[in-house]
Every structure is written in C-alpha cells, then in structure tokens.
Amino acid sequence: MHKPDHLNAAQQRAVDYTGGHALIVAGPGTGKTHTLIHRIARTIPCLKSDENILAITFTNKAAVQMKDRLMALGVSQRQVFTGTFHAFCLTLLREHWQKTALPKDFKIASPGDIQGFNKDVLERISLMKSTQLVIDPDEGYKAYQRALRQNNLIDFDDIMRETLIVLEDEHTAAAIRRQYRHIFVDEYQDINIIQNALLKALVGDAGTATAIGDPDQSIYGFRGCEVKLFHRFTDDFPGAVKLHLNENYRSSPNLLTASRQVIENLGTSTEKRRMSPNFQPVARIYSEGKLVIHCASADRAEADYVAGQIEKMVGGMDMLSAAGAQRSFGDIAILYRLNAQRRVLAQALDHLGVPYQVSAKAPKPEEYSDEAALGQYEEALDYTVEKVSLLTLHAAKGLEFPVVFIIGCEDHLLPLDIEGMKGDLEEERRLFYVGMTRARECLYLTRAGRRQLYGKTLSYGPSPFLSDIEEELKAHEAAHLRKRAQKKSPVDDGQMQLF
C-alpha cells in the first residue's frame, strides 16, 4: 500500500516527534507498522554504541515481518531487539535467573507437562496471573505452582512475572534500562496489567516509550487485556503526547463509513469514546467498494452462497462459467465468530473445489516453544499456494484482504451469547469492527435464518450491529435459486445404442 519511504504529514509528525513518550493512535489501514518502523529507524542514529532499541510485537509472526521491514530500511538486526513480551522477557530471565528463585536450567511448560489440573482451573490461574499484580493464592493455585517448580518448569505467564522480579533488583534494572532507552510497543490496545507494569519498569525515569495501537480494535479482554491501559498511557508515562493517524489507505470510502457507523455506537460505559475531531478517519482510497448484505434460509444455503460468490469472482472455475476474472483465491477471506461455524462452510467450498486454508487459532503468544518465544522459529508458511483464508474474527487481526465475507451476522453470534459463552458487548462490537476493517474493496455480511450449532437448531434474527450501518450503504443480494450444483451435471454423453 505504501511506497517504502513515503510518509504523510501525520505519520511524519509521529516519526519525527522527539519530545519524550508518545502514544500513537492509529486506526485500521492508517500505516501503523509503516510509521512505527520509520520511527524506529529515525531513532537509530541516537543510539550509543552499547545501546539497543527494544521493539515489542504482539506475535512472533509480526516480529519476523517487522525485522524484514526494518532490514529493508537498512536497520541492522543487531541494533534492535524485535520480539514479543514473552520473547524479550525470556532472554532477560536466561541471563538474570539468579535474581529469581528459579534454577538455571528452568524450562517452559508445554501443555500436558503438568497433570491433574483441568482446563478450567488452568484458565482461571492464567487469568489471575495476567490480571493481578499481586496474587492472593488459593489452594489450587498453590498446588499448580508447586507442581511446576518441582519439575523445574515455569509457564508462559510466569515468564513475565519472574521478569518483574528481576527488574525489582535496582542494579540489574538500571543496566537493562541503560541498554534499552528507547522502547516501542505495537498493538498497545491488547496489553495486560503485567505487560503494562513491565513496560513501566523497563522505561524507568530516563527511557522513552512509544506505544501504537487502536483502542477500537481491542479484542482480547477475555485474556486479561485491558483497553483502559491504552487510555491510561498518558498517566503512566508523564508528559506523553497523543498523536493520531487518521488517513486510511486500505478500505474504499463506503466501507470505511460503514465500519465507523458500527464502532461509533460503542456504549457509554467506562470506555466512552473520546472523540476528537482529528480522530475522524479520512479515506485515501477513492474507488467505491461493495458492501453486500445477504440473508440465507439456513447455514448450508449461506455457505453455498459464499462459495458461489467466490466461484463467480474468480471468474468461473470451469469453462461453463467462464467470465471476467478479477480475483484469485488469496484475495479472499471468510471470517466467523466461532470455529464451529466452519464445518458447513468447508463442505460448500469442497463441493465447488475451492481451495482454502484454515487458521483456526487466534495468535496466542503463550503457545510458542522456548525457541519460538526467542523468535528464532519461523512458521512454515505456504507462500507458493493461493487459497481462500478461513479465519475466526480474532485470528483476522492485523490482516487485510480485497474481499472479506463475515458469515453468521446474527444476534447471539455477534455479539456472542450462546451455550454459556457470552462475550462482553463492547468487545464483541470491536471484534465485528475488526472484521469489517479487514476488507479493502468488497465486504459481504451474511446470515442464516437458522443454523445447526453444537447439535442444536438455532434461529436468530440479524446481528444488532448490522442496523448501525445506514441502509444507503448496503446492497441487499437475494439468494439466487441456485440448486446445489450436481456433482455430475447431466451432460448428454451422446452414448449411442449402436449395436
């Protein structure tokens, strides 16, 4: 999207600001990473020989991409530590383990290493560890920690908590701060209280923090991330300025407007939106996009509709339906709230022979191995094969596609409220917003009159988020009376009864 060296005025201001801490509020498609890497590159000449820059990313994959882009700007790998909080903390722990109660050869627990604790208990413990600076341990917690330590293990949450202990040692902390005077954090809307404490401890009195993110895209509250920490940045880091990037280089203007209409209805709770005039996004893509609303009778029909649309936009996949080809499979993503929605969809795509890939999991920094956490592990991505991407809305974070389908735009799915799973209303809205803002040119919002989920037939009306989008922006597309194409179309084979 961006020419490697071009910066718009707001980006340039964010890159050039040298007055101390900065919080860059950057909506979708405003060149967040672009601005961040330029700001990092701009800081390089200020480094003393024994100093490094610390650049914190949300996932290892993002770290790899950032390294590549920094390298393209001529930044040496040695000058910047790029990685997740976990990766950075693990490096510190390996060096300064003496400052903790851990043995030198501690290992990172893998799932299944600790037996006898069920999933719910483990989740509860993890949530405690990521939301409470000081834990008041109950019996289950104590038993779990005992089991870990007896096996020389720490878990992923411990990596950060133990690092906080390291940083309590003033001498060690001072040395680390001297090395990393400039700290950059990406995706700041999705940090938790522990990471916040770490950042404060790392920055200290003399360091400079730059955080970048979009509070409207905070979607990990259920894991203990707190969007209020984003808004608290200027309190946590005295003198911090807030800078806005508001020029959108991703989405067509009508899609941008539609997504704004959804997010601006954000509730009046504690997270009340602080609208400042310069925060209004400005479209920098000028061609009109397409926003299609489609209601199918049932989930199967919805899936057939999606598969059929894909077939159409790839230009027909056989000679019989050949037409103008505009898209290839890699241009297209299908997003859904729950993985359980995928099965019916996959069947429909299989039926038409549409190649697809599933990214089932939201990126969880906790799920990487020791080596991975250190950022030396690169995912074996299949770059050579184009496929339609099937993603949960969570997993779609940070990605963009010319064409996006969001299926299951129904009440109780968006916002989620079924089978004992209930999402926070405001977070669900942001999640839907994240999904919408993945689209560059075409956005399809589809729903079904009834669907099978978890062995039940569910029937819900449209998602309330849909009604936040003004009618004028929507094109309603009816279901074509399109029979599920028969596997063997009855082509007359001219089989003659000759003899």
Partner 1 sequence: MKFTADLHVHSHYSRATARNLDLEHLYLWAQLKGIAVVGTGDCVHPQWLKEIEEKLEPAEEGLFKLKDKFAKPMDAHVPAACRGPVRFMLTVEISNIYKRLDKVRKVHNLIWFPSFEAARKVQAKLDAIGNIKSDGRPILGLDSRDLLEIALEADPMNLFVPAHIWTPWFSALGSMGGFDRMEDCFADLTPHIYAVETGLSSDPLMNWRLKQLDPFILVSNSDAHSPAKLGREANLFDTEFSYRGIYNALKNSEDKGLLATLEFFPEEGKYHYDGHRNCQARLHPQETIKNKGLCPVCGKPVTVGVMARVEELADRQEGKKPPRWRPYKSLVPLPEVIGEAKGVGPSSRAVEQVFGNMLSSIGNEFYILCDASIERVKESAGDVIAEGIARMRQGKVEIAAGYDGEYGTIKIFSDKERKAIDKQLALF
Residue 295 in contact with residue 462, Cβ under 8 Å?
Answer: yes
| Residues forming a β-bridge with 447 | 295
Among 204, 330, 449, 464, indicate the residue that binds partner 1 (CB under 8 A).
330
Sign of the dihedral through C-alpha 226, 358, 432, 23: positive
Say which residues have a Cβ less than 8 Å from residue 118's Cβ, sequence separation at least 6: none
Among 261, 326, 339, 359, indicate the residue that binds partner 1 (CB under 8 A).
326
Residue 127 in contact with residue 224, Cβ under 8 Å?
Answer: yes
Q: How far apart are CA 104 and CA 231, in angstroms?
A: 38
Q: How far apart are CA 245 and CA 8, in angstroms?
A: 9
| DSSP classification of residue 205 | T
Among 5, 105, 120, 492, indicate the residue that binds partner 1 (CB under 8 A).
492
Q: How far apart are CA 19 and CA 114, in angstroms?
A: 48
Among 73, 121, 122, 352, indicate the residue that binds partner 1 (CB under 8 A).
352
| DSSP classification of residue 479 | P
Cα 252 → chain centroid: 21
380 contacts partner 1 (rule: CB under 8 A): no
318 contacts partner 1 (rule: CB under 8 A): yes
Shorter beta-carbon distance to partner 1: residue 267 or 355: 355
Could you tell me the smallest distance in angstroms from the CB atom of residue 357 to partner 1? 9
Number of Cβ within 10 Å of residue 319's Cβ equals 6
Among 4, 19, 103, 353, indicate the residue that binds partner 1 (CB under 8 A).
353
Could you tell me the smallest distance in angstroms from the CB atom of residue 42 to partner 1? 32
What residues numbered 90-149 form the site for partner 1, per CB under 8 A?
A: none
Could you tell me the smallest distance in angstroms from the CB atom of residue 104 to partner 1? 42
Q: Which of 425, 459, 25, 451 is nearest to 262 (CA)?
A: 425
Sign of the dihedral through C-alpha 216, 222, 223, 226: positive
Residue 127 in contact with residue 135, Cβ under 8 Å?
Answer: no
Stretch in the footprint of partner 1 (CB under 8 A) among 33-41, 76-84, 236-244, 349-357:
349-357
The count of chain residues that interact with partner 1, using the rule CB under 8 A, is 42
Among 273, 387, 450, 474, indicate the residue that binds partner 1 (CB under 8 A).
387
Q: How far apart are CA 486 and CA 229, in angstroms?
A: 55
386 contacts partner 1 (rule: CB under 8 A): yes
Stretch in the footprint of partner 1 (CB under 8 A) among 57-65, 79-87, 98-106, 378-386:
378-386
379 contacts partner 1 (rule: CB under 8 A): no
CB-count burial class (<10 Å; 0-12, 13-18, 19+) for 494: exposed
Residue 159 in contact with residue 108, Cβ under 8 Å?
Answer: yes
Among 270, 384, 455, 483, indicate the residue that binds partner 1 (CB under 8 A).
384
The DSSP secondary structure of 58-117, one letter per residue, reads SSHHHHHHHHHHHHHTT--GGGEEEE-HHHHHHHHHHHHGGGSS--TT-EEPPTTSS-S-
Could you tell me the smallest distance in angstroms from the CB atom of residue 307 to partner 1? 11
Among 9, 134, 206, 319, indicate the residue that binds partner 1 (CB under 8 A).
319
Stretch in the footprint of partner 1 (CB under 8 A) among 170-178, 276-284, 328-336, 458-466:
328-336
3 contacts partner 1 (rule: CB under 8 A): no
At 335, phi and psi to the nearest 5? -115, 150
Shorter beta-carbon distance to partner 1: residue 9 or 496: 496
Residue 213 in contact with residue 230, Cβ under 8 Å?
Answer: yes
3-state secondary structure of 326: coil
What residues numbered 467-486 form the site for partner 1, per CB under 8 A?
A: 485
Could you tell me the smallest distance in angstroms from the CB atom of residue 289 to partner 1? 18
Residue 216 in contact with residue 435, Cβ under 8 Å?
Answer: no
Stretch in the footprint of partner 1 (CB under 8 A) among 79-87, 259-267, 316-324, 411-419:
316-324
Shorter beta-carbon distance to partner 1: residue 319 or 481: 319
71 contacts partner 1 (rule: CB under 8 A): no
Could you tell me the smallest distance in angstroms from the CB atom of residue 346 to partner 1? 10
498 contacts partner 1 (rule: CB under 8 A): yes
286 contacts partner 1 (rule: CB under 8 A): no
Could you tell me the smallest distance in angstroms from the CB atom of residue 332 to partner 1? 10
Q: How far apart are CA 225 and CA 236, in angstroms?
A: 16
Q: List residues near partner 1 by CB under 8 A.
A: 314-320, 322, 324-331, 350-356, 382, 384-387, 485, 487-499
